[in-house]
Amino acid sequence: MFMKPPTAPLLAFVQQHRIALAKTAFIFLAMWCLLTPAPAASGYTQHGSAGTFTYQNDQHHNLQLPLKQTKVHLEITGDTVHSRVSQTFFNDRAANLEALYRFPLPDNATVTDMMMRVGKRIIRGEVQEKVAAQKTYEAAKSSGRRTSLLEQKVQNLFETRVANIQPGEEVTITFSYLAPLARTDNRYELVFPTVFGRRYHMQHSLENDAGESHYTLHPMDNTAEAPLVHPPLVAENANQHFVTLTATIEGIPAADILSPSHDIFVDQYGDRRFAIELSPVDNLPNRDFVLQIEPFIDEEPQLSLVQSQGHDGVHGMLTVYPPLEDVLGEERTPKDLVFLIDTSGSMDGQPLAQAKQGLKACLAMLNPRDRFNIVRFSSDYSSYTNTYDNADGAGLDGANTYIDGLASGGGTELQIALSHVLDLPESPERVKMVVVLTDGDVGNETNLLALVHQRLGNARLFSFGIGSAPNEHLLNRISEQGQGVANFLRANEDIGQVVAGFMETVNTPVLTDVTIDMTDLAGNPIELDTIYPGKIPDLFLGRPLRLLFTHHQALNGHIAVGGYLNGRWVQYDYAVQQGRSSRLPGLEKLIGAAQVKDLTAAYVTADYDTRPAIREQIVAIGLQYQLVTQFTSRVAVEERLEKQADGSLVSVRVPVMRRANALPATATNDFNMLLLACLLIAIAVPVSVLQHVFNR
Amino acid sequence: MQHTDPTAAVAPSTYRLGNLLASRWFPIGLVFASLLIAVRPVYHLTVRTVSQWQAERLWRERPRDQQLVFSGDPVAWLRHTASGLDTLVLLDGSEENLNRFPCWSMAGALPGQRGLKIILGHRDAHFRELGQIGHGDTLDLQTHSAAMRYVVDNIEIIDKENLGDHLMAAQDRNAVVLVTCYPFTYTGPAPQRYLIWLSPQNEPLV
């Protein structure tokens, strides 16, 4: 009789279930795939004097180096400001110093370029691919070089550290940054800080009184042991430092340009082009420079177009301010609001109380025609009603009772709850809005973003950050992905005020399905080469719509901005007559940054096979435009000019990078390793048992 | 009756996989591999537990009059009664030291010096309790020279890439910052850091 080989049933089993086995193996593999951390903004605000260069003396007091000269050039194009600042300091000490330069930047500013000259040394910031940057840093560290240290990328502060400043040596720091131009009440306003190093000037008067006392200078920080004296402003005749400030305005149809703070000269070159200069008799660095630009308000809808001729085509920026104000009185579109409230253990106590209070305030401000639902989630989720309840007396009373009954406990499984909420029905005559109230203590960010991306439909997602340390990064990202806005309820804030602001945003008429059509002078449609953001976002009241584009030639003709406003189609037409385009280097960087933003969003939702390709694109753009992205970082590279035997100068590159980022990881991998070990044993045991069964 | 070879219809790769699964050595190999993998975490856990036993003695017998401190020396004792955080702090945040206790980072100011003081700890070991500390809580930090009471005045979560910059930009020269990974329950290298900023309460305890 034929003897079955003992392995045959096992083989048959394997063959029959090979797909299931492969899937299981893949799941095990996938479990170990690590999620890539995302780049982000930590809101850091710096207050204080502008442009300081400080060092520490033997008593650890921070002292300032004297500033000799400040040159500022502001390029205002459309609604961005490209500022180039150059400051020269002087080491008037007898010692070799290490000093720290800091300059407060406006919100959302991006440093685009920096260069520093210390005697013969030139130090440049350079963007490299993250791994390459890390290698550069390690190489410099292992060879023991730490001659200078360069930091950037703290959100609102530009900081650079320089070592080995010889006595009598001059340090010139030149850097440029891009920032949006603030617009309030139909007026643009720009503030540039010019109160540089005024505490230094106090030193002169002190020296006059007290003679040689170098180290009796007053410390800069008010926490020092030495008594604090408020520095007096320097007398005008004793001033040694002057400010040179020039500005150009391009692409704004300005009716009036004025400075309430300083005397300025304004020259006009054509319709939308102006040059501004600070009057030489008013250049004392004793107050901030304020510039106000009033555009023609009869040119509604307002539109500003800036184009720059680059080597690879025309880069442009189009900003539209649709006149939504005139529809404010119209009846508002009824809404379906779903509140998703976090009742996990981390919300215990004050945060949950805050969330409940915020939720009640939101409900109280609903219109009678609106409908709502409340979904609580922790490890599981449950909802107030199955679909929606009317926001009238009975519905609200029931909801308030429901809210009072909420208690905290359990984990934070936002994903399943969010998925349920996004699947709730949408009705065509109502706007569906999801409001998440959470402290955001969740780890699976990428999955949440992908979920919102896939399931959002026509709904909008808003969020309220609750508690002492909400995960602002996550909330901002999912709200952006959800075409909404993130709000934060902080411990000391007036909840009513925050909620009122939020409800105003929610009630604002919104221009949806926005389209932009361009035609040339003869009426033929123009198809732009690329446009960012790829999906034109909806327009909230009073907020500008900004589009960046590239095209092979300058635009000339008509632009039509259209969209649905409360279900009604509206269109605004605008004529563009700009034959000339100039070169504005900042614009490419803005386009690069927009490209990176779009690609990063695509990266988050892409599957694993396409991610490397997107990553490469992001790195390429980061390197091309010198932008700090998720996959590129900035290293400081020092170029030292060395004199050769034949007398020629050669620049030697000395790479260095930051110090404190070398802090070690603050978690062990122990848990994962133990899990893996258990997993292997969990495989080994059934295999062994199966072998035993089949062999018998 | 016609017999067919049961292995004939099987693809070679499937056959090899079957052979592997049927091999006596396969489960033994798996168990052996799991033991190898478990050695490191078990060693870490042992070191941590043993260190915990020794903590009080190390702190009691710390050298009082030495001029120089070395990496791994006990430099402080950190206590927050409500959350149960009660631990020795070693100097220098090397991986080896961090495995034993939270560490006083050399990237910041040293004990007794002016400047930002940075204390690092594992989120899954000694600094597990950091999540329970809230605004306004007080922590006791005892160093060789002084015992100070600190108040939590800010809690932040920032991306790990920004940590260095963020700490460098700190203005308060008397602050102490406790740093650990965030989110607390995250598998793999966590993308963020959890920062608790402490500022001294005015009167020293002693």
Contact B190 A667 (CB under 8 A): yes
Domain boundary among A507, A538, A571: A507
- Our count of domains for chain A comes to 3
Distance (Å, whole) CA B20 – CA A309: 65
Q: Are residues B28 and B82 in the same domain?
A: no
For residue range A268-284, list pLDDT tens digits in order.
877 778 889 888 776 66
Whether residue B182 contacts residue B192, with contact meaning beta carbons closer than 8 Å, is answered with: yes
Say if A677 is an interface residue toward chain B (CB within 8 Å).
Answer: yes
**A257 and A366 together in one domain:** no
- Mean confidence (pLDDT) of chain A: 69
Coil vs helix vs strand at A638: strand
Shared domain for B97 and B176, answered yes or no, is yes
Q: Which of A75-79, A552-556, A578-582 has the lowest mean pLDDT?
A: A578-582
For B168, name the nearest residue in chain A, comparing CA atoms only: A660
pLDDT-derived band at B88 (thresholds 50, 70, 90) equals: very high
- Domain span at A165: 52-295
* Sheet of strand A242-250, all strands in order from the earlier edge strand to the far edge: A264-268, A273-278, A242-250, A67-77, A80-90, A170-180, A110-118, A121-129, A632-643, A649-656
Q: Which helix (H) or strand (E) holds A452?
A: helix A445-455
Lowest mean pLDDT among A391-395, A513-517, A538-542, B64-68: B64-68
Note whether A175 and A234 are same-domain residues. yes
Given an 8 Å threshold on Cβ–Cβ distance, is A660 in contact with B22?
no
Identify which of A95, A117, A99, A119 has the alpha carbon closest to the alpha carbon of residue A162: A99
In this structure, the answer to whether residues B13 and B115 fall within a common structural domain is no
Q: How far is B59 from chain A (nearest CA, A)?
A: 23
pLDDT classification of A621: cutoffs 50, 70, 90: confident
Provide, as residue numbers in chain B, all residues whose Cβ is less than 8 Å from the Cβ of A676. Answer: 34, 37
Instruction: Give the model's confidence band at A155: pLDDT under 50 very low, under 70 low, under 90 confident, else very high.
Output: very low
- Tokens representing A348 are 């215990």
- A547 is a domain residue: no
> Is the per-residue pLDDT at A441 higher than 80?
no
Q: Look at residue B1 and tell me if it is in a domain.
A: yes
Q: B192: which chain A residues are within 8 Å (Cβ-Cβ)?
A: 37, 471, 473
Q: Which residue has the higher pLDDT, B178 or B3?
A: B178
> Is B129 within a domain?
yes
Q: What is the CATH number of the domain that holds A497?
A: 3.40.50.410
Is A331 within 8 Å of A425 (Cβ atoms)?
A: no
pLDDT digits (tens, 9 = 90+) for A401-428: 888 888 888 877 888 888 888 888 888 7
User: Is position B71 within any domain?
Assistant: yes
Does the structure show a pLDDT above 70 at B2?
no
Q: pLDDT higher for A678 or B124?
A: A678
Residue A320 covered by a domain: no
**Would the pLDDT of B109 be above 60?**
yes
A144 & A235 share domain: yes
Question: Same domain, yes or no, for A208 and A70?
Answer: yes
Please tell me the distance from the alpha carbon of residue B34 to that of residue B26, in angstroms, as a whole number. 12
Distances from the Cα of A567 to the Cαs of A169, A457, A542, A563, in angstroms?
67, 17, 19, 9
Q: Do residue A345 and residue A237 come from a single domain?
A: no
| CA-closest candidate to residue A592, choices A555, A545, A550, A537 | A550
Residue B110 and residue B13 share a domain: no
In which residue are the tokens 């399943």 written?
A: A416
Distance to chain A for B133, nearest Cα, Å: 10
Tell me, yes or no, whether B112 and B195 share the same domain. Answer: yes
* Domain-located, residue A546: no
Please name the member of B40, B156, B174 whose beta carbon is closest to the beta carbon of A673. B40
Asked if residue A493 and residue A394 are part of one domain, the reply reads: yes
CA angle at residue B65 from B59 to B68, to 5 degrees? 90
Beta strands in A311-459 (DSSP E): 313-321, 335-342, 371-377, 381-383, 389-390, 431-438
Sheet arrangement for strand A62-64: A62-64, A52-56, A97-104, A157-165, A149-154
CB contact under 8 A, B156 and A469: yes
In terms of domains, do B39 and B74 share one? no
pLDDT at A680 over 90: yes
DSSP-derived secondary structure letter, B10: S
A66 touches chain B (CB under 8 A): no
Look up residue A121 and give its two tokens: 């040394």
Residue of A14, A42, A60 lying closest to B114 (CB–CB): A60
Residues B72 and B57 in one domain: no
Q: How far is CA A8 from CA A3, A390, A512, B8, B27, in A?
A: 10, 66, 64, 11, 18
- Helix, strand, coil in percent for chain B, rounding step 5: 35, 25, 40
Give CA A142 to chain center in angstroms. 33
Q: Is residue B18 part of a domain?
A: yes
* Residue B139 sits in the same domain as residue B89: yes
| Domain end call among A295, A325, A357 | A295
CATH of the domain at A163: 2.60.40.1730
Burial of A168 (C-beta count, 10 Å sphere; 0-12/13-18/19+)? exposed
Q: Is residue B206 part of a domain?
A: no
User: A279 and A409: one domain?
Assistant: no
User: Looking at the structure, do residues B71 and B57 belong to the same domain, yes or no?
Assistant: no
Please tell me which of the candidates B17, B24, B168 has its beta carbon nearest to residue A660: B168
Please name the residue that has the structure tokens 């500008």: A544
- Calculated CA dihedral for residues A249, A251, A255, A256, nearest 10 degrees: -10
The domain that holds B135 is classified in CATH as 2.40.260.10
Q: Given its phi and psi angles, is residue A132 left (phi above 0), alpha (psi -120 to 50 degrees) or beta?
A: alpha
- Tokens representing A186 are 């139909």
Residues 146-175 of A with CB under 8 A from B: 151-154, 157, 159
Same domain, B41 and B1: yes
Cβ of A327: how many Cβ atoms within 10 Å? 15
Sheet hosting strand A182-184, strand order edge to edge: A182-184, A187-192, A289-295, A254-258
CA distance A71 to chain B (A): 25
Of A447, A481, A507, at which residue does a domain stop?
Answer: A507
| Cβ neighbours, 10 Å, residue B22 | 21
Would you say residue B125 lies in a domain? Answer: yes
pLDDT band at B3 (very low <50, low <70, confident <90, very high): low
Residues A68 and A19 in one domain: no
Question: From the CA of B28, how many Å to the nearest CA of chain A?
Answer: 7
Coil, helix or strand for A183? strand
Q: Name every chain B residue with its beta carbon within 8 A of the beta carbon of A491.
A: 135
Only one residue has tokens 């996989």, namely B17
Q: Which domain holds residue B185?
A: 67-200
Task: Assess whether A289 and A398 both reside in one domain.
Answer: no
* ipTM at complex level: 0.76
Q: Is residue A585 part of a domain?
A: no
- Number of compact structural domains in chain B: 2
Domain termination residue (choose one: B61, B91, B106)? B61
**Cα A92–Cα A96–Cα A101 angle in degrees, nearest 5:** 70
Domain termination residue (choose one: B46, B61, B76): B61
**Domain assignment present for A588:** no
Residue A458, both tokens: 């026509």
Flag whether residue A142 sits within 8 Å of chain B, measured between CB atoms.
no
Both B34 and B127 in one domain: the answer is no
Rounded CA separation A160/A173 (Å): 9
Q: Which of B26, B41, B160 sits opposite A674 (nearest CB)?
A: B41
Q: Is residue A542 domain-resident?
A: no
Instruction: Give a yes or no: residue A659 inside a domain.
Output: no
Residue B205, in any domain of the structure = no
Which chain A residues touch B157 with a CB distance below 8 Å? 469, 471-473
CA atoms within a 13 Å half-sphere pointing along the CA-CB vector of A135 = 6
Q: pLDDT band at residue A232, thresholds of 50, 70 and 90?
A: very low
Interface touch A694/B22, C-beta < 8 Å: yes
**pLDDT tens-digit series, residues A4-14:** 444 456 666 66
**Does residue B136 belong to any structural domain of this protein?**
yes
Instruction: Tell me the average pLDDT across A543-569.
Output: 79
Cβ-Cβ contacts under 8 Å for A528 (sequence gap 6 or more): A518, A549, A550, A551
Helix axis angle, A18-32 to A670-695, nearest 10°: 160
- Is A80 found in the same domain as A109? yes
The answer to whether A42 contacts B162, with C-beta atoms less than 8 Å apart, is yes
Contact between chains at A159 and B99 (C-beta distance less than 8 A): no
One domain for residues B196 and B97? yes
Q: b or e along A248-280 (b: 16 or more beta carbons within 10 Å of the residue's beta carbon)?
A: bbbbbbbeebebebbebeeeeeeebbbebebee
Locus of tokens 């007898």? A94
Distance from CA of A268 to the nearest CA of B (A): 42
Q: Confidence class of residue B178 from pLDDT cuts 50, 70 and 90?
A: very high
User: In terms of domains, do A187 and A285 share one?
Assistant: yes
- Is residue A657 domain-resident? no
pLDDT in tens, A188-210: 888 776 654 322 222 222 333 33
Q: Are A308 and A316 in contact (CB under 8 A)?
A: yes
DSSP B92-132: S--HHHHHHS-EE-TTSPPTTSSS-EEEE--TTTGGGGGGG
Tokens 């030489």, located at residue: A280
| Of the partner residues A153, A473, A659, the one whose CB lies closest to the CB of residue B107 | A659
Q: What is the dihedral of CA B22, B24, B27, B29, to 10 degrees?
A: -120
- pLDDT over 90 (residue B39): yes
Whether A14 and A69 share a structural domain? no
A247, A276 Cβ separation under 8 angstroms:
yes
